[in-house]
Chain A
């Protein structure tokens, strides 16, 4: 199966592991990820401002490319996923927005027909966690892993349509499929501090520390996330020895494709 893949800029710099193991694992699962040609930065969450159009065009171009190939558009980074899914939702539901966007896109136009999936959604809805479980060669048995959702992966719930935003299960189900034991803790879908880390580091530190302390107090050995920003904040500001890794790293390890 072939899918369109939008990596995003952080995956080329700070979050190389997120990208690399996503590709390797997909291969192991029989999925070819065709990178969108000439993709541009999604603009990060700043582009989610409602009245902004030009900054969303990069997302629209990616969506349009996927639609042309009639492929699902897969993203891995929480922020890219959020921006692209919200943009697609607006293209489908906000006629005024779509009209303005398509004026920029002329002579091309995009009709909102692409389907955007986060890599985790692809594992759940396309591959299936049961199938994934069968493909695991190196089960992570006995490991207690805390899923950290952050805020961008699931919210706003109505638009992202990914999971229950208050009581999600997708990462826990993923962890179970890899043979490990998920740790349920209170702070798993709280904010890490996000970009607040830039202007008010103290606040961000408080948030990140709270997340890791909560995970540690429930016996977590590893924290897993899909978001480069969350990982940055947790590692830098969490004041904890608890390792924070990308979900793709665990996936690749379990599928036996991490080395080499």
Chain B
């Protein structure tokens, strides 16, 4: 029989205002197993904790029930108190009589009755509690960062600076991501390359960082502290360690008609290429879809001109297996396809472009050498219309676009408009907006400068149609403030396309058993209090894969994710949560129901030899729970048809005892 102490908290008037706490303590005194029942104004205060501590010692308590606030709030506090008095912390139960009782009731009588019932249920559970001890697993002191944009680079640098080795896996031939494609960055207008490329170089030279470019994660197994990851290094047909990045091959390659994805296919590159001048690693890559040698076996020009003898047409994809303690998802974003938005005539005119394409047109290393020229005829545009929220903030019932705000478009559009007016004062610039959203340090000041100092015409209203007429783009729009229809003859239309998570995020989330929202952004463990952790232990989130973000916010989050990784890797051993599932192998019938419902991949099946009661041996297929991976969600215990699966600390018998106590 347990010896149980009951401690009812007033929480000032939070609980005592609607619950007669004295009556609750009195009523619970006569429940089975209870030896002491008392109340106090603030149980969580030092005095309250001391009271519990002493009561445990004096009465040789084997379990306690604290009737107070939600266990989310103070379960850990009272577990510590119990532990300091020599009690196993898992012998503590919280009856939530605040959030689930006093806060939702107005009537003292009803509130008191409910509080007693909740207390009774908790007592019934403690009566069946057993001491639990968390298991320990070692930690592999190395991190994997998936994605080599600014988010991944910053996370890797911060982890590496703390002394832990990091691998960056990047699917493109170079790290740098979207930021490398940008021209200037808001709100200070420093050039993206000038602030990014030093970080790229730092990552390349850091003794603790290894960059696996042109590589993809293929498979992830294991759990927090002990992940095993398969990485495919794609054949680049160039020996990475020998290539000097001189670029001679990229000049001599006769295959000149390859769409250049770095410039968003607004110009061409060769079949062997280095994406941009500051690429890291600065190594050439052969595009197998276009290389004549790889396709027909005839050419070999690059091998002939390469003085370092780095070309290797026989290279094959390589699979490597590595172990990591922590994994950071930093897969980033992409602008959405403009295909469903043809009212803006994106597919009908070359002079309707996206904002990212505009970045390349303004960039000194872009297809026009930084001159703002129309893609169709290379002429300087004199009237430019920017359309914001293309695909952002769409109705949930619409068949296209995203419901969310893409967050970065207001600021970069203000930047584009300002830079255009600054460089080409003879240009008329219109910006059509639903709302201008510029929260952020120095952001609104920046936008106002675009309006007030640079004379950009901001028009509240959306563009309904863009029709190419001759070499002009006829823009039909509404000005909601003036309540009139506008017709503008534009030379260039720039669409602020909504952003969406990179396509690689969804399969990665599946491999990580990390959760995602309906838009394929990674879900954080808590939207406010654990914003850089995935609900899956050991998986962290950095940058726009978690939600739309600008550069300052991405870098902050990248650092925060790194801090969490460092905190994990600094531990030699990890204490698990002992409230995990366990299977009674004698009852298990090997049906796999639990394996199918487990969201964490914690359950595996093994075939084991059993000694049967009649002294024969039998081979049976039974479920086994990996306690380090199990998060104790309990899905398997519900799915198990034979009742073999049970959750420690939340056994079916305990839950039923609670229900019985409530229904008594």
Q: Which residues of A contact B (CB under 8 A)?
A: 157-158, 164, 166-167, 185-187, 190, 214, 217
14 further A-B contacts with Cβ under 8 Å, apart from A186-B469, A187-B467, are A157-B399, A158-B399, A164-B342, A166-B341, A166-B342, A166-B343, A166-B345, A167-B345, A167-B347, A167-B348, A186-B468, A190-B465, A214-B469, A217-B469
Q: Find the A residue at minimum CB distance from B341.
A: A166
- What are 20 residue pairs bridging A and B, where the CB atoms are less than 8 Å apart in the complex? A157-B399, A158-B399, A164-B342, A166-B341, A166-B342, A166-B343, A166-B345, A167-B342, A167-B345, A167-B347, A167-B348, A185-B469, A186-B467, A186-B468, A186-B469, A186-B474, A187-B467, A190-B465, A214-B469, A217-B469
B345 to chain A: which residues have CB within 8 Å?
Answer: 166-167
Rounded to whole Å, the gap between the CB of B390 and the closest CB of chain A is 13
Chain B residues lying within 8 Å of A190, measured Cβ to Cβ, are 465
- How many B residues have CB within 8 A of the partner chain? 12
Q: Which residues of B contact A (CB under 8 A)?
A: 341-343, 345, 347-348, 399, 465, 467-469, 474
CA distance A214 to B347 in the complex (A): 20
In the assembled complex, the Cα of A55 lies from the Cα of B348 at a distance in Å of 40
| Residues in chain A near residue B341, CB distance under 8 A | 166
Provide the bound-state CA to CA distance between A94 and B468, in Å.
39
- Best-buried of A185, A186, A217 by chain B (most CB within 10 Å): A186
Closest chain A residue, CB of each to CB of B468: A186
Query: From B339, which residue of chain A is reached at the shortest CB distance?
Result: A164
Q: Kindly provide the distance from the CB of B627 to the nearest chain A CB, expressed in whole angstroms.
A: 48
User: Measured between C-beta atoms, what is the minimum distance from B26 to chain A in Å?
Assistant: 56
Task: Give the most central of B345, B399, B469, B474: most A CB within 10 Å.
Answer: B469
Closest 3 pairs between A and B when the two form their complex, measured CB to CB: A186-B467, A166-B342, A167-B342
Q: How many A-B residue pairs have CB under 8 A?
A: 20
Q: Name the CB-closest residue of B to A164.
A: B342
How many whole Å from A219's CB to the nearest CB in chain B? 12
B596: min CB distance to chain A, Å? 32
Docked Cα-Cα span, A190 to B347, in Å, equals: 18
Which residue of chain B has its CB nearest to the CB of A187? B467
Q: Give Cα A132–Cα B384 distance, bound, in whole angstroms.
A: 44
> Which residues does chain B contribute within 8 Å of A217, judged by CB atoms?
469
CA–CA, A167 to B343, complex, Å?
Answer: 8
Alpha-carbon distance between A190 and B474 when the two chains are bound, in angstroms: 13
Report A56 CB to chain B, min CB distance, Å: 22
Chain A: minimal CB distance from B347 (Å): 6
Task: Give, as a whole number of angstroms, the nearest-CB distance from B178 to chain A.
Answer: 28
Q: Of residues B343, B399, B467, B474, which shows the largest number of chain A Cβ atoms within 10 Å of its Cβ?
A: B467
Q: How many Å lie between the Cα of A85 and that of B347 in the bound state? A: 28
Task: List, in ascending order, chain A residues with CB within 8 A of B468's CB.
Answer: 186
Residues in chain A near residue B343, CB distance under 8 A: 166
| Minimum CB–CB distance for B397 against chain A, Å | 10
Contacts of A157 in B (CB 8 A): 399
Residues of A within 8 A of B342 (CB): 164, 166-167
With A and B bound together, what is the CA distance between A116 and B399 in angstroms? 22
Complexed CA–CA distance, A164 and B400 (Å): 13
In the bound complex, what is the Cα–Cα distance between A217 and B471 (angstroms)? 13
B473 nearest in chain A by CB position: A186
What is the distance, in angstroms, from A25's C-beta to the closest C-beta of chain B? Answer: 31
Separation in Å of the B473 CB from the closest CB of chain A? Answer: 9
In angstroms, Cα B157 to Cα A84, docked, is 63
Query: Once bound together, how far apart are the Cα atoms of A164 and B343, in whole Å?
Result: 10
Chain A residue nearest to B399 (CB atoms) is A158
Name B465's closest neighbour in chain A (CB-CB).
A190
Rounded to whole angstroms, the CA-CA distance of A24 and B342 in the bound complex is 36
Q: Nearest Cβ in chain A — how far from B184, in angstroms? A: 33
Q: Within the complex, what minimum Cβ distance (angstroms) separates A210 from chain B?
A: 10
Report how far A158 CA is from B399 CA in the complex, Å: 8
CA of A190 to CA of B465, assembled, Å: 10
Chain B residues whose C-beta falls within 8 Å of the C-beta of A158 in the assembled complex: 399
Cα(A167)–Cα(B468), bound, Å: 12
Q: Shortest beta-carbon distance, A102 to chain B, in Å?
A: 26
B605 to chain A, nearest CB (A): 43
* Complex Cα–Cα for A217 and B467 (A): 14
**Docked CA distance A167–B474 (Å):** 15
- B399 to chain A: which residues have CB within 8 Å? 157-158
Complex Cα–Cα for A166 and B469 (A): 15
A50 to chain B, nearest CB (A): 13
Question: In the docked arrangement, what's the CA distance between A187 and B469, Å?
Answer: 9
CB distance from B312 to the nearest CB of A (A): 45
Task: Please name the residue on chain A nearest to B342 by beta carbon.
Answer: A166
CA distance in complex: A124, B345 (Å): 25
Bound CA span A53–B14, Å: 55
Distance from A42 Cβ to chain B, minimum over Cβ atoms (Å): 25
Complex alpha-carbon distance, A187 and B476, angstroms: 12
Distance between Cα atoms of A190 and B468 in the complex (Å):
13
Q: A204 vs B347: C-alpha distance in the bound complex, in angstroms?
A: 29
| Chain A contacts for B467, CB-based, 8 A | 186-187
A185 to B469, CA, bound (A): 7
Task: Please report the C-alpha to C-alpha distance between residue A158 and residue B395 in the assembled complex, in whole angstroms.
Answer: 15
The chain A residue with its CB closest to the CB of B474 is A186
A166 to B347, CA, bound (A): 10
CB-CB nearest in chain B for A156: B399
Q: Residue of A at shortest CB range from B466? A: A186
| A residues near B465, Cβ cutoff 8 Å | 190
Note all chain B residues with C-beta closer than 8 A to A214.
469
Cα(A186)–Cα(B469), bound, Å:
6
List the B side residues contacting A186 at CB < 8 Å. Answer: 467-469, 474
Complex Cα spacing A258 to B343, Å = 37
**CB nearest neighbor in B for A186:** B467
| Minimum CB–CB distance for B416 against chain A, Å | 24
Distance to closest chain A CB from B474 (angstroms): 6
Closest-CB distance, A128 to chain B (whole angstroms): 25
Once bound together, how far apart are the Cα atoms of A185 and B342, in whole Å?
14
Give Cα distance in the complex from A160 to B343, angstroms: 17
Question: How far apart are the CA atoms of A157 and B467 in the complex, in Å?
Answer: 19
* A167 nearest CB neighbor, chain B only: B342
Nearest-CB residue, chain B, relative to A157: B399
CA–CA, A186 and B341, complex, Å: 16
Name the distance in Å between A221's Cβ and chain B's nearest Cβ: 19
Least CB distance, A132 to chain B, in whole angstroms: 26
Closest to A158 in B: B399
In the bound complex, CA of A6 to CA of B123 (Å): 75
**In the complex the two chains form, what is the Cα distance from A217 to B470 in whole Å?**
9
Contacts of A166 in B (CB 8 A): 341-343, 345
Q: Closest CB-CB distance, A187 to chain B, in whole Å?
A: 7
Closest to A168 in B: B342
**A167 to chain B: closest CB distance in Å?**
4
